[in-house]
Amino acid sequence: MARETPPLISKSRYLSGLLCPKLLWCHYNDREIFPPVDPVRQAIFDQGHRVGEMARDLFPGGLLISGERHRAEEVVPETHRHLPLRVPLFEAGFVYRNAYARVDVLEPVEADRWDLYEVKSSTRVKNEHIPDVAFQRHILAGAGVEVRSCYLLHVDNQYVLQGELDLGRFFNAEDVTEETAGLLPAIDDDLERMTEVVLSERCPEVGIGVQCTSPYECSLKSVCWDFLPEDSVTTLHGDRAKGFKLLERGVTELRELPEDVFLTGKQRIQVEALRSQRVHLSRPEVQQFLAGLEYPIHYLDFETFMPAIPLLDGTRPYQQIPFQFSCHVVGSPQGASEHHSCLAEESQDPRTGLLAELRRAIRPTGSVVVYNAPFERGVLRDLAATDDDLFDWWEDLDGRLVDLFAPFRSFHAYHPEQHGSASMKDVLPAFTGLDYGHLPIADGMAASTEYFRVTYTDVPEEERVRVYRELREYCDLDTEGMMRIVERLRELVDNEWLTDSKVKG
Ligand code: SF4
């Protein structure tokens, strides 16, 4: 049953409405359809809230309006009661027509004007921040509050923590007054259109598209994308937009791609492998890659967390802080593997113990195989930077890194069950049959969130022990998986019949 009176449209609903009318309609008329917020997303929200609260300390003497209450009926009158005080106001709320905005910080300037601050935990101003601030500015103007300037207060990722957090250097204020001005004239029309959508009895029909994943993943994606088959046109490597155009033409299955569709080299490999159900292997290139591996071969993987608010001296906001590694070492072609691992179980600096263990695990010679080398390269560089004496060790190690991602990123090796992706999470099950499905922690984001939660917050000891065990299982599988992938590539290179055989059917 659709509503009859226009509802209040808050800033977050307005932004949803700009993205997709279906999303907006569901927010007001079909709340049950939304899947629960997963722990990783929740942790990101929580981090954003912590950053927002910290920013208030930049405005001494400020007043928080209505605490954590959000109802406009309470917030708006209280805001208007406090405006004459001419002190910074946090979470002040205003209504104009049927739109409602709360402002992170309003700072009094001149005799009767205000500067508006929107706090973001991002490290720069992003395109999607501009309509966010413009909406607030528009509502404030409508409510009779004169705004002089609008600022986006974001995190400065060049700031290095030394001792106490210096908020003045941690945050960076960028003036976005001009950028928002261009959007103001359209907001009333937007709101009118959105009100019609919300009052409509039927959910608008909207096809899936780029708006589902950009600027962020829509919370209804799992619902709206549910109809897609496993090998849909949206899996076409490196070009989702092409997939959406094909959907509009009524083509859903990748194997039924019309002949007139232009495909890149990688996309041709993907479609051909899918249709033939055969592994694609550029034998000379993969052979060359394998020949470059020197024994003892180390398979190395780090898990990291990246707190917006730095915890350790000498680190920057969002710096990757390693807390765990796994390393399988294979000494010779027929030799068994040796396993080394380390997980920092203390809430102090995890890097010290990790470094010591890593130096024991890595032998003086041999390749160090990683998956997606820029990440591990950066982690190793930052680790080595904690001690001046480690420069030579790091330089040698850096020169021995080999990226196992390379033959997959280039599609020199491609399995039809990768579904267009070269990520380890897709390559591993496709090539080896091993997968992460049975693990409670099955990706890097979950690992990072869980580690941070059980190490830096108060949880029962048995939960901490359980999560640490799950983290070990996850990270160990990453390096064992790399080892198995290399073994499988060797088999495929040496046995042509394997690539001639169908993987299925
Ligand atoms: S998943 Fe896409 S189509 Fe569905 S509501 Fe979100 S943005 Fe709209």
Atom of ligand 1 nearest to the CA of 208: 3
- Please tell me the distance between residue 28's alpha carbon and the centre of ligand 1 in angstroms: 15
Q: Which residue's CA is the nearest one to ligand 1's atom 4?
A: 224
Query: Which ligand 1 atom is at minimum distance from the Cα of 221?
Result: 1
Range of the domain at 318: 284-500
One-character DSSP codes across 323-361: EEEEEEEE-STTPPEEEEEEE--SSS-THHHHHHHHHHH
**Shared domain check, 307 and 166:** no
Last residue of a domain, one of 171, 198, 225: 198
For residue 220, tell me if it sits in a domain. no
Q: What is the model's pLDDT at position 318?
A: 96
CATH of the domain at 112: 3.90.320
- The verdict on the CB of residue 23 being under 6 Å from ligand 1 is yes
- Residue 38: which of 480, 446, 315 has the closest Cα? 446
Domain contains 221: no
- 148 and 293 share a domain? no
pLDDT in tens, 285-315: 999 999 999 999 999 999 999 999 999 999 9
Domain boundary among 198, 218, 236: 198
Residue of the nearest CA to atom 7 in ligand 1? 212
Q: How many domains does the chain have?
A: 2
Indicate if ligand 1 lies below 6 Å from the C-beta of 220.
yes
Could you tell me the two tokens for 49?
């809230």
Residue 375 domain-assigned?
Answer: yes
CA distances from 116 to 80, 109, 136, 152 (A): 16, 10, 9, 9
Task: Assess whether the C-beta atom of 24 lies below 6 angstroms from ligand 1.
Answer: no
Q: Is 499 in the pocket of ligand 1 (CB under 6 A)?
A: no
Whether 173 and 290 map to the same domain: the answer is no
Q: Are both 382 and 484 inside the same structural domain?
A: yes
Looking at the fold, whether 193 and 51 belong to one and the same domain comes out as yes
Supply the pLDDT for residue 3. 63
- Does 206 reside within a domain? no
Q: Which atom of ligand 1 is nearest to the CA of 219?
A: 6
The answer to whether residue 158 sits within a structural domain is: yes
Average pLDDT over residues 334-352: 90
Ligand 1 mean position, distance from CA 210 (Å): 9
Q: Across the strands, what pairs with 151? A: 117, 175
User: Whole-angstrom Cα distance, residue 442 to residue 434?
Assistant: 12
Whether residue 292 sits in one domain with residue 190: no
Of 182, 198, 214, the last residue of a domain is: 198
- pLDDT higher than 70, residue 435: yes
Task: Please tell me whether residues 183 and 288 are part of one structural domain.
Answer: no
Is 206's C-beta closer than 6 angstroms to any atom of ligand 1? yes
The answer as to whether 148 is a domain residue is yes
Task: Find the 34 Cα to ligand 1 centroid distance in Å.
Answer: 11
Distance CA 248, CA 243 (A): 9
Residues 298 and 153 in one domain: no
Computed over every residue of the chain, the mean pLDDT equals: 94
Please give the pLDDT value at position 330.
97
Could you identify the atom of ligand 1 that is nearest to the CA of residue 207? 3
Atom of ligand 1 lying closest to residue 211 CA: 7
Which of 13, 16, 19 should be mutated for ligand 1, with most atoms under 8 A from CB? 19
Do the domain assignments include residue 215? no
Q: Tell me, what's the pLDDT at 76?
A: 95
Nearest residue (by CA) to ligand 1, atom 2, is 212
Reported confidence tier of residue 348, pLDDT bands at 50, 70, 90? confident
Tokens of 73: 């009926």
Query: Is there an atom of ligand 1 within 6 Å of 224 CB?
Result: yes
Bond before 440 cis per omega within 30 degrees: no
**Residue 505 CB partners (closer than 8 Å, separation 6+):** 277
Kindly report the pTM of this predicted structure.
Answer: 0.91
Which pLDDT tens digit goes with each residue over 156-172? 999 999 999 999 999 99
User: How deeply is 336 buried, as exposed, middle or buried, from its count of CB atoms within 10 A (0-12, 13-18, 19+)?
Assistant: exposed
211 ligand 1 Cβ < 6 A: yes
Report CA torsion sign: 418, 422, 426, 427: positive
Nearest atom, ligand 1, residue 224 CA = 4
Residues 194 and 289 in one domain: no
CA distance 34 to 404: 38
Query: 23 C-alpha to center of ligand 1: Å?
Result: 6
User: What is the domain-level CATH number for residue 403?
Assistant: 3.30.420.10
